[in-house]
Amino acid sequence: MGQHFLVDQNIARKIVEQLSPDVESVVEVGAGMGVLTQYMVDDIRDKFYVIEIDHESIDYLRAHFPTLGDHLVEGDFLKADLSRYGQKNMAIIGNFPYNISSQIFFQVLKYKEQVVEVVGMVQKEMAERMASREGSKTYGILSVLMQAWYDIEYCFTVNENVFNPPPKVKSAVIKMRRNAVTDLGCDEQLFVTIVKQSFNQRRKTLRNSLRTLLNPEIIGNEVFDKRPEQLSVKEFIALTNQIAASHVSP
Ligand code: SAH
């Protein structure tokens, strides 16, 4: 399945140590052979859940961690109803399957009212993208959409040789904490559309890439001379409000 299993116990422990003690439930995504699981299963058993898609891994985990019981869930994290594992202050943790890490973050966004923290290992490039600020080449859709709701911290880089088999890329651990924002102050759906549509043609000016959304009153505004990587989260929110206002008939 192209998965890379962490074999370095110190790093496994260090990842689990990033979890904040105040979380009320913890969901591990893709436990594999349980290298992270082993450091949580005893300490936080009542509030700990594992979601793993692979049947063989499930058999292995059931045999090695019998106390998990029905907290071991066979299924797809991307389709999981996270409200079954806690109503608030939930943490998501895992050495994420890299091919679906963006989708994992979109699933987190869907449950942002519950998910207060994410501790995850991802490709180094992905970690950098998530944490990068406007003006940076790596600033993109996920940076804006995640930073709107989470404070993102790049914790540490992880070398290829601590995995079996070693991946071709470097990895990194990131930690995300829900910020204090409860309302973006704009139409959230339109915000997402605008962010995605701008970055899908990141070298073009906003005037070009957002043309379908801009009516004549505002199309000349200076902000549309910019390119998406120049806009902070706040500026994307302001832009969303500008566009929304121009669509309301007087
Ligand atoms: N945590 C382990 C395994 C990491 S490999 C370790 O660090 O060694 C990624 C794991 O995610 C694999 O066990 C794979 O079966 C699982 N996985 C892949 N896609 C998944 C999905 N959609 N939902 C849940 N688990 C998934």
pLDDT in tens, 161-209: 999 999 999 999 999 999 999 999 999 999 999 999 999 999 999 999 9
- In sequence order, which ranges of the chain are alpha helices (DSSP H)? 9-16, 55-64, 101-110, 124-131, 141-147, 188-199, 206-209, 216-219, 233-247
Binding-site residues, ligand 1, Cβ < 6 A: 1, 3, 5-6, 29-33, 35-36, 51-54, 57, 76-78, 94-95, 97, 100
Mean of pLDDT values over 10-38: 97
Closest CA to 7 of 44, 32, 40: 32
pLDDT value of position 242? 96
Locate the ligand 1 atom nearest the alpha carbon of residue 79 and give its number.
22
pLDDT value of position 89? 96
- Whether the bond into 165 is cis, omega within 30 of 0: yes
Locate the ligand 1 atom nearest the alpha carbon of residue 28 and give its number.
1
Percentage above 90 pLDDT, the chain:
95
Mean of pLDDT values over 63-75: 97
pLDDT value of position 2? 60
- In sequence order, which ranges of 30-100 are alpha helices (DSSP H)? 55-64
Half-sphere exposure of 130 (CA within 13 A, CB side): 29
Q: Could you say which DSSP state residue 195 is in?
A: H
Residue 249 has pLDDT above 70, yes or no: no
pTM: 0.94
Q: In whole angstroms, what is the distance from residue 157 CA to residue 37 CA?
A: 21
